[in-house]
Structure 1
Amino acid sequence: MQTDTQVRLFEEDYWQHALDVGDRVRAAEPVHRAEVGGYLPVWVISRYADARRALTDSRLSKDAGRIRPVMERHLRAAGLPTELSGMFRPHMLFQDQPAHGRLRRLLADKFTRTRIEQLRSRVFDLTRTLVDALPVDEPFDLVDKLAFPLPLTVICELMGVPAQDREALRDWTAALMDDAPARLLPASRAMEGYFAELISAKRKHPGDDLLSALVRGSDTDRLDDEELIGTVFLILVAGHETSTNAITKAARWLMADPRLWRHLADTPHRIPQAIEEVWRFDSPVRMATHRVTAAPVVYGGVEIPAGEIVLVSLTSANRDPEMFGDPASLDIGRADARRHLSFGYGMHHCLGAPLGRMEAEIALRQLIARFPRARLAVEPQRLRAQRSAIMAGIEE
């Protein structure tokens, strides 16, 4: 499949222009052939209707046992280590039914809406402390000072991770989002070793945290050691990386228009809807995580053979003109903004979406109230995009 060189995904000049590139790719072809990390060929589904169908298509397997051999084959062919990160250990995100249902149920029974709602006052207090520490008359890095530490602290407290260990987790998870094995594998090994020790400690001295609850399990079922480590990887990485990006993207786009930012300061009840529209306009998650074709499938008239890695472009689907009117415009009054796919769709819809929404809303409300005339300190083109096929954050 040939395309114009201007619209190639995941190449050197892609990251800073991902929205425009994605729009051109979607307009040119519904399914696009690309390569991740210089070694992994993938098929990218980019239109909304196709994306929503793909996210629930059982022929697009999420089973890590199917995905790993395909990825290892391509790594071997490229002369790279075939080891994969701990994100491909057993957890609900990389399982099909019925295994997915079991693992999700075990987590959902502990990670309830009630438990999340009980965090609201803590999220509010943490945000207030972080916002109070921000300088008033000089530039600061919003990622470093608010968007990263807030969700990291929340998820670590929820999981029972000691405060002195959180800085290391921050560095490891940042490395895990890199598509280069040389950077992500050392971080993955370090995290796996740390989680194994933490799980052992929770067995000996359980607390009232989420990890202790997962270790205990229920009277009828519990996670084994592999599933525990995989689930902790999922919660820690997805639980703060996506929220960091969600807060950052919301602030970046709303602050880019000083009139809009001031308007939200005067009408704070509109902040939740404004955040949803930003996530539709520029998703904090670029692609849904890997799927592999268990059988040949056809999307947009393109046949994808069996045994191929498929990525669903959430960013592109959210900007599909067949679904959203004038999708390249940020419109905080858009009535259907919450139909975005940024939290996924179907049985793999993000379990932590309510927590992510809570954190973003509280963070933006306090930031806008404290700094009603805030503006970007640099030109938007100087904001460095995260170089990750899956996550779509801003580095600083």
Structure 2
Amino acid sequence: MSTPLIEDLSALGQDFVDNPHPVYAQLRARGPVHRARSAASGEFWLVVGYEEARAALTDTRLSNDIRHSSGWKDDGGNSIGLNMVQTDPPQHTRLRKLVAKDFTARRIEALRPRVQQITDELLDAMIPSGRADLVDAFALPLPLAVICELLGVPATDRKTFHDWYLASTDFSEPAAAMAAAQAMTGYLAQLLDAKRREPGDDLLSALAGSVNDADEETDRLSTEEMLGMAFLLLVAGYETAANLLSSGTLALLRHPEQLAALRADWSLLDNAVEEMLRYEGPVETTAFRYTKEPVEIGGMTIPQGESVAVVLAAASRDPQRFAEPDRFDIHRDARGHMAFGHGIHHCLGAPLARMQAVIAFRTLLERCPGLALDTDPAVLTWRPSMMLRGLHQLPVTW
């Protein structure tokens, strides 16, 4: 069997970062699975077809545990703990069960009044200026405030934690990224220790208490698991939602006929959010899976120990699943998109993200009837990450 060509994604530069969809479409036209390379991750496999992506995300031969990677070396631990994204059943099942009760539909619905209040307060502060960077003024601080209140992170620490997170994901500066990850770990360890001594009515207090106070041995979190869970819930709880709010707003502003249709009929809002998720979802690719044995996907045999990235953004624009996938249409049936993943690792916070989006978009569009881009969309840039897809800035006026 011939060796597949290696697609050098890093060589594509900022154009690929800003708009990866044409590249994924070209790859998908040639086949659903490809060998790729990037400066940050080395060589790995890309899954870009819809059906193949769904199959890969439920294939137990693909592990989330990096110890199944042929290149794994034990470095003595994880810099930001051990979380659900990095584990398989039964460990994953146990970890997810511990927090799932805090993300039920009833618990999320109970947050609605507070989400509306935070939304209104942010717009109260933003609107008088007449123009703003929507990412900095609204899209980021809204979900950051919501998840930090849910978890019990002090308001004074939120900006610092976000700065650490951004630095930790900037792989162009490896030393600074490692230092930021270590700073986050130290902060979370201290915060969880404080929650253990003086617990409050928040999720981090519950996690801190589960280290020693669980009724069953299997319900106890190790220190590493507790740190990893805290980090995952914080980051996944706001960064993806912020990306949805900013990229969704951009999609509406670049498609004025769709925006007009939404303003004329708010019953379209729930479906509009689903189309935003399909069209420009906040997660571009999954975390790596690792082949525990040779696995055939889309006619390509991937050897044991290889890294596999499922491209959710490409799957959600597969023309075999969605007609005219590059067309933004809030009337289309967008159900089945891959923005929140699939299988046992499907995003736990999806209901919270959807609820925040519905409140944020309606309130923003009602209170800013003249909302418009305040820059040439061609100069907008996106964060240099193949995993999370989000804008650096979104200048708007109203």
TM-score by length of 2: 0.91
**CA drift at 1:322:** 0.7
Give ranges in structure 1 of 5+ residues lacking alignment.
74-81
The one-letter code sitting in structure 1 at the alignment partner of 2:335 is: R
Alignment equivalent of 1:209, drawn from 172, 181, 202: 202
What whole-Å deviation, never above 9, does each CA across 1:121-172 have from its counterpart, x for those lacking one?
1000000111122236743111001110001111111111111111111111
Contact 2:7 2:34 in 1 (8 A): no
Aligned partner of 2:5 in structure 1 is 2
Residues 1:93 and 1:39: Cα distance change in structure 2 (over 3 Å): closer
Alignment equivalent of 1:359, drawn from 356, 361, 366: 356
Aligned partner of 1:191 in structure 2 is 184
Aligned partner of 1:372 in structure 2 is 369
The one-letter code sitting in structure 1 at the alignment partner of 2:207 is: L
Aligned partner of 2:97 in structure 1 is 105
Aligned partner of 2:392 in structure 1 is 395
Alignment equivalent of 1:225, drawn from 223, 226, 234: 223
Residues 1:312 and 1:303: Cα distance change in structure 2 (over 3 Å): same
**CA drift at 1:3:** 6.8
Distance in 2, Cα, partners of 1:233 & 1:136: 35
Structure 1 window deviating more from structure 2 (174-183 vs 90-99): it is 174-183
What is the SS of the residue equivalent to 1:342?
coil
Contact 2:168 2:180 in 1 (8 A): yes
Contact 1:176 1:185 in 2 (8 A): yes
TM-score by length of 1: 0.91
Structure 1 window deviating more from structure 2 (91-100 vs 50-59): it is 91-100
**CA drift at 1:257:** 2.1
**CA drift at 1:114:** 2.5
What is the SS of the residue equivalent to 1:338?
coil
Contact 1:215 1:222 in 2 (8 A): no
Count of equivalent residues: 384
The one-letter code sitting in structure 1 at the alignment partner of 2:175 is: A
The one-letter code sitting in structure 2 at the alignment partner of 1:56 is: T
Identity of aligned residues (%): 42
Distance in 1, Cα, partners of 2:89 & 2:258: 44
What is the SS of the residue equivalent to 1:32?
strand
Aligned partner of 1:163 in structure 2 is 155
Residues 1:4 and 1:162: Cα distance change in structure 2 (over 3 Å): closer
Aligned partner of 1:66 in structure 2 is 68
1:28-67 to structure 2, matched below 5 A, reads 28-67=30-69
Aligned partner of 1:20 in structure 2 is 22
**CA drift at 1:10:** 6.6
Distance in 2, Cα, partners of 1:177 & 1:259: 36
Structure 1 window deviating more from structure 2 (37-46 vs 159-168): it is 37-46
What is the SS of the residue equivalent to 2:71?
helix
Residues 1:72 and 1:392: Cα distance change in structure 2 (over 3 Å): farther
What is the SS of the residue equivalent to 2:127?
coil
What is the SS of the residue equivalent to 2:324?
coil
Residues 1:338 and 1:149: Cα distance change in structure 2 (over 3 Å): same
What is the SS of the residue equivalent to 2:304?
coil
**CA drift at 1:328:** 1.0
* Root mean square deviation of aligned Cα: 2.1
Alignment equivalent of 2:126, drawn from 119, 134, 155: 134
